[in-house]
Structure 1
Amino acid sequence: MSDRAAECPDIAVIGAGIIGVACALRLSRQGLRVVVIDQQEPGHGASFGNAGHLATEQVFPIADLSILKRLPAMLMDPMGPLRLDWKYLPRALPWFTRLLLNLRPAPFQRTVAGIRALNESSLGAWRRLLEDIARPDLMREDGSLLVFEHADSRQAIEALQARMRQQEVPVDYWQAKTVSAMAPQLSERIQGGLFFPSTGHFLDPFRVVGELVHAAKTSGVQFLKQQVQGGHLNEHGVSLITNQGHLSARRVLIACGAHSAKLTAALTGKKVPLDTERGYHLMLPHEHDRLPFAVTSLERKFIMTPMTDGLRLAGTVEFAGLDSPPSMQRAWQLHRLSQGLFSRDLSAEAATPWMGFRPSLPDSLPIIDRVCDGKVLLAFGHQHLGLTQAAVTAELIAQIAAPGAIATSHELPAIRPYRLDRF
C-alpha cells in the first residue's frame, strides 16, 4: 500500500452505487482523499437495475390519497403494480402512516417543491459530470412519453397535463397520429399521450457507474470491498467497524441507499424512517430499436427503456422489506403487461429478471445534509429518483463538504428541504 493510501482519508464514502460514486468523484476533484466502501462491487445494487430513465418530470410524491382505496388490492394481489406484503404490514404501518400524513396540503406542497428543485437541476448536473469524464455520449436527452390506450383515460391524462404545467414541467400532448409517427412500432390501440421533452435516459446505467468509477480511481479514489457493520465518532473524526477490521476517516458520507438507516443511527443518534421500495425489471436482449425513447403506460403502470443491451421493462413496486426473498414472478409479469402495446409482441427469449432496493422516506424527499460538526455527511433516500438526482446530489455534497471551496456558475437547490432534522 502506498503512503498516500495508508493515510487517514479525508472522507470515507459508504456505498458504491451511482450516488456514492458520483459523490466520491466530485469530492476527489476538490483535492480530498476519498475511500469508497461497499460489500458489493460498484454499481451492483439498485444502480444496476434501475429503469435508466432520467425522470425529471416526476415531481409528485410516490403515492397519493388513492392509496387508501388501493390498500386491499395491494395486500391481496401479488402481481399488482403496487404491492404490500401482508406479512410486512405490521412493520410498514408506521411508515405508511407518516406517508399519509405527508399528503396533507402543506407537507404535500413542500414535497413537490423539494422534488422539483432537485429535478430541475438534474440534467444540467449530469451534463457537467459526464463532460468532466469525457463521456457525454452515455446520456440521451430525447424526451419520454406517457401513453394511454382507453378513451376514458383521456380525462386523467388531461388532468395530469394540467398539474404538470402548474409545476412548470415541460409537457406536450400528442395525438395518436403523432405517437404513431414518432414510435411506429407501438400498437394502434394507443389513443395518445404526454411527451416530456426535458427528460432523457441512459443507454447502459451500469456502464455509467463503471465510467465514473474509472474516473474516480484516476483521481486517486480507493475502493474497498468490505461490509461496514458499525462505527462511532471520536475527536479525530470517524471510526468505522468493517468485516475486515477498523477504518478511520476524518469524515464519512453515508450513501448506501436502503441500507443507510442503521449506520446513520449509530453515528448521529437519529433514527430515520427509511423503508425500501423493491423494484423489479425484465431485460429483453433481443429487442433493439423498438422504441426511440422511454415509454410509460398509464393504465399498465410500467416503463420501457431502450438500451444498448436491449429493451428494459421496469416499474413494479413492492413493499416487503430488505430480508424477504425476491418474487421474480413480478419481473416476468412485466412481459405480460407489455402484450398488446406493440404491433408485434415483444420477445422474452433469453430475458433476465432482477430485483433491487430503492430507499424511500415517507415524505418522498432524500436526506442530503452535513451533521455532527461536519463529521457526517448524508446522501440517501432518493426513492425511484436516485439515478435522476445522483449528479446534482454529488454537487450538493461537494458544496456542503467544503463551503465556498469551488465557485460555480450554476445555482444549486437549497439544502433546507433535505436536512436530517426534519424527522
Structure 2
Amino acid sequence: MSRRDIVVVGAGIIGVACALQLARQGRQVVVIDSQAPGMGASYGNAGHLATEQVFPIADYSILKRLPAMLMDPMGPLRLDWRYLPRALPWFTRLLLNLRAAPYQRTVAGLRALNEQSLGAWQRLLASLDRPQLMRQNGSLLVFERAESRADIQGLQHRMQQQNVPVEYWSAEAIRAAAPQLSERLQGGLFFPATGHFVDPFHVVGELVCAAEAAGVQFLRRRVVSGQVDAEGVCLFTEHAPLLARQVLIACGAHSAALTATLTGKAIPLDTERGYHLMLPHEHQRLPFAVTSLERKFIMTPMTGGLRLAGTVEFAGLGRPANMQRAWQLQRLSHGLFREELDARDATPWMGFRPSLPDSLPIIDRVADDKVLLAFGHQHLGLTQAAITAEMVAGLAADGPMPAGLPALAPYRLERF
C-alpha cells in the first residue's frame, strides 16, 4: 500500500484552507471527512469575521448563571442537565483559566491570531481572485437599555487597552448607518477592522475548487482510529487503511479522540452547539453584522438573506438538535427593527463549535513531526482559518516557522 504525503482529517473551513496552502507548497494532499466539504460547523456559522473578540468565551458570571442555564431551555447559554456530569470538569478548567495569569495568556493568544486574520484572508481570497466574498465594512454591537451604557463603556475601554479598533456610536449615528434599526437603540460600539462573508459555505466551495486544481484529493470516509508508525501514520477507516507520512487533525469538535489515539494526550475539548435561522426574504435590512448586547445574538447580511445566529448549548455531540433554539432567534429580533423581519421560508440549523477551556486553539506539530494539529477555535474558526492555514503550512515544512507568523507557544498541545 502506497503511503500518502499528508492526509488532512476534516473538510471544514480550517481543514480545506490548510490543504490548499499545503498543496501550494508542493505537498501531495488528501482530505478525508465523513461529510462533504463544509457541511459541519463551516456551513452555518454566523459569517462574522470577529477580530474584535480577544477575550475568553466566558467569565466568572457563568457561576451565577448556572441555575438559569440548567432550567431555561431557550436561554442564550444552555447546559443540558443530562450533560452536567461530563461538562463540570470542562467548566472547572474554564474558571481556572480566568485567573489573572492564564487570562492574560488567553487574551494575548487571541490577539496574536485575530490581528493577522483579515490580512491572511485578504491574501487567500486574492489568490482565488474572489475578494468580493468578504465585506470588510465593520460590525456593530448595539444596546437598548440605559443601564447597559456602563457595560458598553467598560467594554470599549478594555478593548482600547488591547488595541482593538473601536468607536462609540450614538443612536443618531446608528440610525444614519442602518436606518431600518429601531429607535429604541441607545447606542453601540462599531468595530471598523472587522467584516463578514456574504456566503460562508460558498467560501469553502471556492477553496475546494482551488485545492482540487492544485492536486488535492477529497475522500468521503470516516476515520475510526489510527496509529503512529516508524514512517508516519496509519489511519483506519471503515474502508481500507490510509498510510501517510504526516497527518493533520483539523476535524473540529471531533478531534479529541483521534488526537488522544495518536499522541496519548487527553484533550479537554468540548462542543458548544450553535444555532442559526436563515431568513431568505431579508436582503436589505443591514449593511453589516449587528449584535445585540442584551439579547446576545448576531444578525449578518448574506446573499441568501439575513442570518440570525448565536446562543450556546452544552449538550455534547450525541443529542439531537433542539431547533426551537433556532426559532427563538427570530423571537429575539422582535423590536430591533422599525418593521419586524420576514420569517417566511426560514430554515433552522445547528452545528458544533469546538472549544477548549482556555479559549485558544491547538496549532502544533507533535509525534516527531508526524502529527499536525489545528482545532479548538471555538467561535473564531471562520475568523482564524486563513492565518491558521499559513501557520500549518509553516509547521509542515522543514526548518523554522516563517517570520511574521504568530508565535506557536500559546497554542501548543503540551499546555494540557
For Structure 1 versus Structure 2, the TM-score category normalised by the shorter chain is over 0.9
51, 62, 73: which is aligned to 1:67? 62
Answer yes or no: is 1:416 the counterpart of 2:381.
Answer: no
Distance in 1 between residues matched to 2:170 and 2:400, nearest whole Å? 50
Q: How much has 1:405 moved relative to structure 2?
A: 8.5
Q: Secondary structure at the match of 2:262?
A: helix
Q: How much has 1:8 moved relative to structure 2?
A: 2.6
Q: 1:221 to 1:108 in 2, by over 3 A?
A: same
Who is 1:361 aligned against?
Answer: 356
Q: How does 1:163-202 map to 2 (within 5 A)?
A: 163-202=158-197
Q: What letter corresponds to residue 351 of structure 1 in structure 2?
A: A
Q: Secondary structure at the match of 2:125?
A: helix
Distance in 2 between residues matched to 1:274 and 1:194, nearest whole Å? 32
Q: Secondary structure at the match of 1:9?
A: strand
User: Could you give the per-residue CA deviations for residues 292-337 of structure 1, whole angstroms, max 9, x where no partner exists?
Assistant: 0000000000000000000000011100000011000000000000
Answer yes or no: is 1:264 the counterpart of 2:277.
Answer: no
Q: What letter corresponds to residue 61 of structure 2 in structure 1?
A: S
User: Could you give the per-residue CA deviations for residues 333-356 of structure 1, whole angstroms, max 9, x where no partner exists?
Assistant: 000000000000001100000000
* Identical-pair percentage: 75
Who is 1:239 aligned against?
Answer: 234
Q: What letter corresponds to residue 308 of structure 2 in structure 1?
A: L
Distance in 2 between residues matched to 1:47 and 1:90, nearest whole Å? 29
Q: What letter corresponds to residue 203 of structure 1 in structure 2?
A: V
Q: Secondary structure at the match of 1:28?
A: helix
- Given the two structures, how large is their TM-score scaled by the length of structure 1? 0.97
User: Could you give the per-residue CA deviations for residues 363-410 of structure 1, whole angstroms, max 9, x where no partner exists?
Assistant: 0000000000100000000001000000000000001110459966xx
User: Could you give the per-residue CA deviations for residues 141-185 of structure 1, whole angstroms, max 9, x where no partner exists?
Assistant: 000000001111101100000000011000000000000000000
Distance in 2 between residues matched to 1:403 and 1:51, nearest whole Å? 36
Q: How does 1:73-112 map to 2 (within 5 A)?
A: 73-112=68-107
Distance in 2 between residues matched to 1:267 and 1:407, nearest whole Å? 26
Distance in 1 between residues matched to 2:67 and 2:402, nearest whole Å? 52
8 A Cα contact 2:140 2:191, kept in partner: yes
8 A Cα contact 2:55 2:107, kept in partner: yes
Who is 1:274 aligned against?
Answer: 269
Distance in 1 between residues matched to 2:3 and 2:229, nearest whole Å? 14
Q: How much has 1:59 moved relative to structure 2?
A: 0.4
Q: Secondary structure at the match of 1:261?
A: helix
Distance in 2 between residues matched to 1:288 and 1:360, nearest whole Å? 32
Q: What letter corresponds to residue 210 of structure 1 in structure 2?
A: G
Who is 1:297 aligned against?
Answer: 292
User: Could you give the per-residue CA deviations for residues 47-102 of structure 1, whole angstroms, max 9, x where no partner exists?
Assistant: 00000000000000000000001111111110000000011000001000000000
Q: How does 1:7-26 map to 2 (within 5 A)?
A: 7-26=2-21
375, 386, 401: which is aligned to 1:391? 386
Distance in 2 between residues matched to 1:405 and 1:69, nearest whole Å? 46
Distance in 1 between residues matched to 2:332 and 2:382, nearest whole Å? 24
Point out where structure 2 has 5 or more consecutive residues left out of the alignment. none
How large is the Cα RMSD of the aligned pairs?
A: 1.0
Point out where structure 1 has 5 or more consecutive residues left out of the alignment. 1-5
Distance in 1 between residues matched to 2:401 and 2:142, nearest whole Å? 43
338, 341, 346: which is aligned to 1:343? 338
Q: Secondary structure at the match of 2:359?
A: coil
- After the TM superposition, which parts of structure 1 deviate over 3 Å for at least 4 consecutive aligned residues? 403-408
Who is 2:151 aligned against?
Answer: 156
8 A Cα contact 2:134 2:197, kept in partner: yes
Q: How much has 1:258 moved relative to structure 2?
A: 0.2
Distance in 2 between residues matched to 1:214 and 1:59, nearest whole Å? 32
Q: Secondary structure at the match of 2:89?
A: helix
Answer yes or no: is 1:322 the counterpart of 2:350.
Answer: no
Q: Secondary structure at the match of 1:414?
A: coil
Answer yes or no: is 1:253 the counterpart of 2:248.
Answer: yes
Q: Secondary structure at the match of 1:127?
A: helix
Distance in 2 between residues matched to 1:337 and 1:7, nearest whole Å? 54
User: Could you give the per-residue CA deviations for residues 90-145 of structure 1, whole angstroms, max 9, x where no partner exists?
Assistant: 00010000000000011001001101110001000001111111111110000000
Distance in 2 between residues matched to 1:417 and 1:403, nearest whole Å? 21
Distance in 2 between residues matched to 1:371 and 1:149, nearest whole Å? 48
Q: What letter corresponds to residue 374 of structure 2 in structure 1?
A: A
Q: 1:318 to 1:400 in 2, by over 3 A?
A: same
Q: Secondary structure at the match of 1:250?
A: strand
Q: How does 1:40-55 map to 2 (within 5 A)?
A: 40-55=35-50
Q: 1:17 to 1:195 in 2, by over 3 A?
A: same
Distance in 1 between residues matched to 2:27 and 2:182, nearest whole Å? 53
Q: What letter corresponds to residue 123 of structure 1 in structure 2?
A: L
Q: 1:319 to 1:121 in 2, by over 3 A?
A: same
Q: What letter corresponds to residue 79 of structure 1 in structure 2?
A: M
Q: How much has 1:245 moved relative to structure 2?
A: 1.6
Q: What letter corresponds to residue 418 of structure 1 in structure 2?
A: Y
8 A Cα contact 2:395 2:401, kept in partner: no
